[in-house]
Structure 1
């Protein structure tokens, strides 16, 4: 099983560590475990609202595409470790991935 460790810019949200399987999507994993990450486009790489920072485990995810990179450029505070959670599919069964979730109150998105 892979391990995904979520931490949050919002200091009021405690860290959460989850087990995940090969092929799991970080955005869906978050949603299934009551972790709020906006995803206005329905997880089809057509916006930047699911922007997160992958602080560890980038090698266990697919390489960033040109399309994803274009949308990350539109996100708030993009960094070298920025990814769209909807495009982060776990590709290694023994992965350890650390995800920093930006403060979602700063992102215009729907509540789900």
Structure 2
């Protein structure tokens, strides 16, 4: 089981920590199932960069970054060394731990 803390760059949003999260889910899925807004214009198939987030802690608890994901991160707003796509960060089975992510300001995306 995992615990995940979602932090937000968007003003006025407090961090949210979720406990007892099962493996084999993406960080995008976990966010959406817990009413945390994270855009996903392509439907979570690694074809855009709107579910871009920053993995601050626990990067060894999610699947490794692929070349395809790296290509889309290059197109994201304000990419950093710890940038990932939420749809591609699948929580690894057989592990436990804490993952901490920061979500960029979601108000920067049009078409809500």
Q: Same fold (TM over 0.5)?
A: yes
- Distance in 2 between residues matched to 1:25 and 1:107, nearest whole Å: 21
Q: Does 1:106 align with 2:71?
A: no
SS at 1:69's partner residue? helix
State the partner residue of 1:54: 55
Spell out, residue by residue over 1:1-25, the C-alpha distance to the aligned partner (whole angstroms, 9 max, x if none): 2011000001211110112111121
Spell out, residue by residue over 1:55-84, the C-alpha distance to the aligned partner (whole angstroms, 9 max, x if none): 000011111000000000000000000000
SS at 1:7's partner residue? strand
State the partner residue of 2:11: 11
Provide the aligned length of Structure 1 versus Structure 2: 110
Which ranges in structure 1 are unaligned for 5 or more consecutive residues?
none
* 1:2/1:94 contact within 8 Å kept: yes
RMSD of aligned alpha carbons: 1.1
Which ranges in structure 2 are unaligned for 5 or more consecutive residues?
none
- Distance in 2 between residues matched to 1:89 and 1:96, nearest whole Å: 14
